[in-house]
């Protein structure tokens, strides 16, 4: 089982309902859509920073990475990244990922809770 987050560029929505709609639209376009788009500069910087605390699963020989898939760069497209982490490590990891996003001026959406992360 995994715990999923989405991080994106853009303005912070006024409420969780709007954030959920924006998430769905971006997911449909960038993850489910057929068009492949390189990750934006800001999302690339975010993706590069994520594994500085926990290694990318593709570089983890001891199976201790919290990321459920990799490389993380493959999860990003345009101004959006949708990624999963191990459920057992999700509390610390999602807090870290959300705080990192916030520090970089990005918006984090918690898919399980259907809400914005501070």
Q: What are phi and psi of 53, to 5 degrees?
A: -95, -45
- Separation CA 49–CA 100 (nearest Å): 8
| Chain segment 2-57, per-residue pLDDT in tens | 899 999 999 999 999 999 999 999 999 998 887 778 999 999 999 999 877 666 65
How distant, in Å, are the alpha carbons of 50, 52, 70, 111, 117 from that of 44? 10, 13, 14, 21, 20
pTM of the shown model: 0.86
- Separation CA 19–CA 110 (nearest Å): 10
Domain boundaries, the chain: 2-116
Are 115 and 16 a contacting pair, CB within 8 Å?
yes
């Amino acid at each position: 089982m995994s715990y999923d987050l989405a991080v994106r560029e853009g303005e912070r929505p006024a409420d969780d309902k709007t954030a959920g709609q924006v998430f769905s639209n971006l997911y449909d376009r960038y993850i489910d859509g057929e068009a492949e788009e390189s990750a934006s500069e800001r999302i690339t910087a975010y993706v590069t920073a994520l594994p500085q605390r926990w290694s990318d699963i593709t570089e983890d020989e001891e199976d201790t990475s919290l990321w459920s898939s990799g490389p993380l760069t493959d999860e990003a497209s345009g101004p959006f990244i949708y990624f999963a982490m191990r459920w057992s490590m999700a509390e610390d990891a999602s807090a870290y990922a959300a705080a990192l996003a916030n520090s970089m001026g990005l918006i984090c959406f918690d898919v399980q809770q259907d809400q914005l992360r501070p």
